[in-house]
């Protein structure tokens, strides 16, 4: 019983230490549902939490000034991209990475509702 309690306390301490941890990339399929995240691009800040780790569905609010945020909405984290190169576009699926742009699905996964952001400058994971 003592070993189990120590394990639980250690896990809780590690989660508290990881609060607002800056990371170079994230892969939503490896994150826990409910994981808080903040992604800063060159011209916007996205803040919210993961709803579905398989699809990358999140509830995200956005802000152009980092202070005043829109109400949260359904956004899908589709992948990281360097943007269009000639007539092709390389996308790292299910990943967001500093130094690359994000491809987002706004509201659903329909191709007509996809958006490419400006370059990701920082990613923070919260507790």
Domain spans in the chain, listed from the N-terminal domain onward: 21-126
For residue range 56-79, list pLDDT tens digits in order: 999 999 999 989 999 999 999 999
Q: What is the pLDDT of residue 125?
A: 95
Helix (H) or strand (E) holding 5: helix 2-17
Tell me the pTM: 0.79
31 or 90, greater pLDDT: 31
What lies within 8 Å, CB to CB, of 81 at 6+ separation is 89, 90, 91, 92, 100, 101, 102, 103, 116
Contact between 31 and 50 (Cβ < 8 Å) = yes
SS3 category, 20: coil
């Amino acid at each position: 019983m003592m070993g189990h309690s120590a394990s639980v306390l250690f896990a809780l301490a590690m989660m508290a230490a990881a609060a607002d941890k800056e990371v170079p990339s994230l892969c939503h399929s490896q994150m826990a549902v409910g994981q808080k995240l903040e992604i800063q691009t060159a011209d916007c800040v996205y803040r919210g939490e993961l709803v579905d780790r398989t699809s990358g569905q999140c509830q995200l609010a956005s802000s152009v000034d980092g202070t005043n945020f829109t109400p949260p909405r359904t956004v899908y984290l589709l992948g990281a991209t360097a943007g269009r190169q000639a007539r092709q576009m390389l996308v790292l699926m299910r990943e967001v990475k500093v130094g690359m742009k994000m491809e987002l699905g706004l509201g659903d996964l329909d191709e007509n509702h996809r958006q490419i952001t400006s370059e990701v400058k920082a990613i923070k994971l919260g507790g």
